[in-house]
Amino acid sequence: MAAVMPQLTNPLAPPPATSRLLLSGNEAVARAVWESGVRVAAAYPGTPATEIIESLARYPDLHAEWSVNEKVSMEVALGASMTGARAFCAMKHVGLNVASDCLMTMTITGAYGGLVIAVADDVGMSSSQNEQDSRFWGRFAHIPVLEPADSQEAYEMTKFAFGLSEQYETPVLLRLTTRICHVKGLVVVGERVAHEPAGFIKNPQRWVMVPAHAKTRIPSLFQRDETLRGVSEASPLNVLESGTDRSVGFVASGPAYMHVKEAFPDAPVLKLGFSYPWPPEKMRALAAMCDKLVVVEETEQLLETEIKAAGIACHGKDVLPRMGELSPQVLGPAVDRLLGKEVPPLPAAVPMKVFPRPPTLCASCPHMGIYYTLSQIKNIIVSGDIGCYTLGAGHPWNALDTTICMGATMGVALGIDKGRGAVDKNKRIIAVIGDSTFMHMGMQGLLDITYNKGNVTVLLLDNNTTGMTGGQATPASGKDIHGAEAPRVDLAKVVEALGVANERIKVVDPYELPVLFKTIRDEIKIDGPSVIIARRPCVLIDDFKPFRPYLVEEDKCTGCGNCIEVGCPAIHVTRREKVVKPSGKEVELAFVNIDNQACTGCGLCVQPCAPDAIQHVPRRDIPIHIVKT
Amino acid sequence: MSQNEITNILVCGIGGQGVMTATEILAEAAIAEGHDVKKTEVAGMAQRGGVVTSHLRFGRKVLSPQIEPGTVQVLLGFEGAEALRWSHYLRPDGLALVNNAKLVPPVVELGLFDYPEDPTGQMRAAGRRVVSFDAMSIARDLGEIRLGNTVMLGAIADYLPFSPDVLLACIVKRFARKGEAVVEANRRAFAAGREAVAKQLGASLPNPAAHA
């Protein structure tokens, strides 16, 4: 979705303290980071966390950056913390996988300046390849986990997290979910307090993690867990609400707490804001006051298992779903069943049958040229990656065969090349990757392809932005997070430096279908790695300038439907007609027009139109100021 | 606190239509009236052209941000098939205000699925209260297609638990920087939206969002 911006008219003048603002969870975290006197904030864009750093970039007094990936963003935050500065990094759930190498050792060094990691789980998977539960990292890395339940709490807990981090010298994990990040609620904001770094202190035993040093520090992790359990027990973030109906009590954190309160307003609830380490005495007190205990957690059966291990009987995933978002309408019947009550059928809220409307590539999206072309080439296996171009797996192109994780296209393509047997011998292997994903995690994979002499043709889709998350700058876009000029990396030179022979690096325009087709066909015929850089700006960024739109001359359209195969959302069928060909075969013709409000004149559909029915809209009929040619 | 005191408004359409902005303005109006507010989106992937629903809940104290099926007082549909898709979110006495736009996605143009015949007719046949109108034609008649979203806000203005003037004031505030001509055009679009619905409903339909 489009970037959600805070309501700041002047970036140098954030709304004053005590303002009551309508903020998303992401915007609330950003405000709190700024108020906490943070000096460095870093992230790689990723739904649903993107807007945290996007908002922070509008605040003064700190360095905000788009890092090339989540691991680097965490390392940047750690380095800042080493100087005593307060530091922050944000990422989506899968981003923390990338950053985990840093996390698992950073937890041993600990934080010096307050160090907070916001991680946003995509519960319900609106825009991710998996639904993993980031609460596990608290256990794995022995760091505290805070879980806000709305925007106000996101703001307050972020501020609390920096103090907690400094007091116990620990990184703090702020676990968000889509229903925190992308829910707007009212937040009362406060003053910024500056935080001058105390200074870097040379201390190899602490900062140089060789075995001898790490061994001396690891016991402190276990001690920290114990200390923080006590802090959690006393924390006002963990509230035991005694309720009046003691038949069922609940344990809940994050958005699940709101669902519990809505479905069971009179029940006892232990609300966990400081959710790891969780408070055992409060848990026992809750268990003692109710007949049955239900642990309400979105996705994994984590707390429930730990509570049972502590000898407290409870229910949870035996009655609740193990994936997707919870809601009051899910909780109510589940608990009724647990109590042996008859569950009344839900009110007549049956969805009507309506066609699916999957996300589509935009009109004039340069990726359409790529996937239209790939859909015309036989005998290929195409590995894909994460970004708008993952949509190439959908209709009408069906032109992607794999998608796993950021940068995986390279390794997967090489593995297919090296692993294939006689049955796949005649196929050619193509790896598709976007420019931002390439710099995030694709470069190493390409190096692996060249080093290991893979027969892979790489399509590097350079649209000059991180498109999927709303058009953030990259090291190849020549702009920084504020839109100011920044050094621009030359992707062709990077590719050459990674070992691709100069004559095997081609730069093409994805709007020029014949050249694109010929280049791909030529390159896949030759053994050895090659890279085709397809260069055109994303249509949603400022670099894109629309061309003169097209229309269909109705009397010329033969209904062949070739243009529809391009997949452009601006092309519409006006009528269908069944005809019998001389061969006796019945075919359905589809006559089309073009929505010239949506068309921006890329010309992709013009090229497969045999009868030349697609022509420019006459100049007099269009607002000239938007047109380039 | 009972569920009845919470107003649930569901705004639906497709990416790029302005669903989220319209809901944001409705949220601002609810805040101006002193309500607690939560607003959330289900927008799927970042691309244009996918399904977008924006959930707005307001009242004395809002807990869960998500609206559940069967609980919506007013459904504001920016597109016919999308209004049909989400019509089961309406309460039995709920009201659907639907822009007649028909936005056909590539999967339908490819012949893989059919666009429903007369989506609002299907909603009526299922017993829903529906008012449909052509917000884009109304906007075009006012001389600027971009006024369509203000027409939509005008359409819902008389079916909120507060005065239409509160909503209008929020719209005016948004456009104040753009000058008096733009503000005036939006005032006209707002009035035209109200009129488009009133013309069909008159005073016959009780306001489902009015608090008893």
DSSP string, A211-253: HHHHHHHHHHHHHHHHHHHHHHHH-TTEEEE--S-TTEEEEE-
Please give the Cα distance from A307 to A292 (Å, whole number): 13
Grade residue B3 by pLDDT with cuts at 50, 70 and 90: very low
Distances (CA, A) of B157 to A619, B22, B164, B186, B193: 40, 12, 5, 14, 8
Q: Tell me if ipTM is over 0.90.
A: yes
In a domain, B147, yes or no: yes
Grade residue B47 by pLDDT with cuts at 50, 70 and 90: low
Q: What is the pLDDT of residue A11?
A: 41
Q: Structure tokens of A508?
A: 């093409």
Q: What is the pLDDT of residue A401?
A: 98
Q: Would you call B60 an interface residue with chain A, using a CB distance cutoff of 8 Å? A: no
Question: Residue B123: its chain A contacts at CB < 8 A?
Answer: 352
Contact between A446 and A458 (Cβ < 8 Å) = yes
In a domain, B38, yes or no: yes
CA atoms within 13 A on the CB side of B164: 19
A residues 52..81 contacting B (CB < 8 A): none
pTM of this prediction? 0.95
Please give the Cα distance from B15 to A468 (Å, whole number): 13
Question: Residue A182: its chain B contacts at CB < 8 A?
Answer: 40-41, 43
The two beta strands, A20-24 and A183-188, are antiparallel
Q: What is the pLDDT of residue A416?
A: 98
CATH number of the domain enclosing B181 = 3.40.920.10
A residues 233..292 contacting B (CB < 8 A): 255, 258-259, 261-262, 265
Name the stretches of chain A with pLDDT < 70: 1-12, 346-348, 621-629
Q: What is the pLDDT of residue B44?
A: 60
Q: What is the pLDDT of residue A594?
A: 97
Which residue has 């449909």 as its token pair? Answer: B132
In a domain, B58, yes or no: yes
Question: Residue B13: its chain A contacts at CB < 8 A?
Answer: none
Please give the Cα distance from A335 to A315 (Å, whole number): 10
For B65, the closest of A47, A179, A467 (CB atoms) is A179
Grade residue B45 by pLDDT with cuts at 50, 70 and 90: low
Residue of B nearest to A261 (CA): B63
Distances (CA, A) of B5 to A205, B57, B160, B161, B210: 60, 10, 13, 10, 10
Please give the Cα distance from A455 to B57 (Å, whole number): 55
Tell if the CB–CB gap between A467 and B46 is shorter than 8 Å: yes
In the three-class reduction of DSSP (H, G, I as helix; E, B as strand; rest coil), residue B186 is classed as helix
Report residue A285: phi and psi, to 5°.
-65, -40
Strand segments, DSSP code E, in A291-341 are 292-296
Q: Would you call A361 an interface residue with chain B, using a CB distance cutoff of 8 Å? A: yes
Residue of A nearest to B88 (CA): A349
CA atoms within 13 A on the CB side of A84: 9
Q: Structure tokens of A53?
A: 């750093």
Contact between B117 and A386 (Cβ < 8 Å) = no
For B107, the closest of A47, A348, A358 (CB atoms) is A358
In a domain, B149, yes or no: yes
Distances (CA, A) of A619 to A333, A430, A548, A594, B49: 62, 41, 8, 16, 27
In a domain, B208, yes or no: no
Please give the Cα distance from B10 to A158 (Å, whole number): 31
Q: Closest Cα partner for A238 from A184, A189, A209, A279?
A: A279
In a domain, B52, yes or no: yes
Tell if the CB–CB gap between B106 and A354 is shorter than 8 Å: no
Report residue A614: phi and psi, to 5°.
-100, 115
Residues of the domain holding B33: 3-201
Domains of chain A from N-terminus onward: 20-234 (3.40.50.970), 238-338 (3.40.50.920), 366-535 (3.40.50.970), 550-626 (3.30.70)
Q: Closest Cα partner for A501 from A528, A522, A520?
A: A528
A residues 516..575 contacting B (CB < 8 A): 540, 564, 567-569, 571-573
Q: Would you call A170 an interface residue with chain B, using a CB distance cutoff of 8 Å? A: no
Residues facing A579 on adjacent strands = A587
For B109, the closest of A350, A467, A571 (CB atoms) is A571
Q: Would you call A92 an interface residue with chain B, using a CB distance cutoff of 8 Å? A: no
In a domain, B206, yes or no: no
Please give the Cα distance from A189 to A88 (Å, whole number): 19
Please give the Cα distance from A146 to A135 (Å, whole number): 9
Where is average pLDDT lowest: A385-389, B2-6, B139-143? B2-6
**Which ranges in A460-549 belong to alpha helices (H)?**
491-497, 513-525
Question: Residue A327: its chain B contacts at CB < 8 A?
Answer: 64, 66, 68
Q: What is the pLDDT of residue A296?
A: 98
Please give the Cα distance from A291 to A271 (Å, whole number): 18
Burial of A118 (0-12, 13-18, 19+ CB in 10 A): buried
Please give the Cα distance from B59 to A464 (Å, whole number): 44
The amino acid sitting at A551 is: L
Contact between A92 and A45 (Cβ < 8 Å) = no
End-to-end CA distance of chain A: 30
pLDDT tens-digit readout, B177-207: 999 999 999 999 999 999 999 998 875 566 7
In a domain, B143, yes or no: yes
Strand segments, DSSP code E, in chain B are 7-14, 36-42, 51-59, 72-77, 90-99, 129-133
Closest chain A C-alpha to B122 CA, distance in angstroms: 9
Tell me the Cα Rg of chain B.
16
Question: What's the number of domains chain B is made of?
Answer: 1
Q: Closest Cα partner for A389 from B52, B108, B47?
A: B47
Tell if the CB–CB gap between B50 and A359 is shorter than 8 Å: yes
Q: What is the pLDDT of residue B144?
A: 87
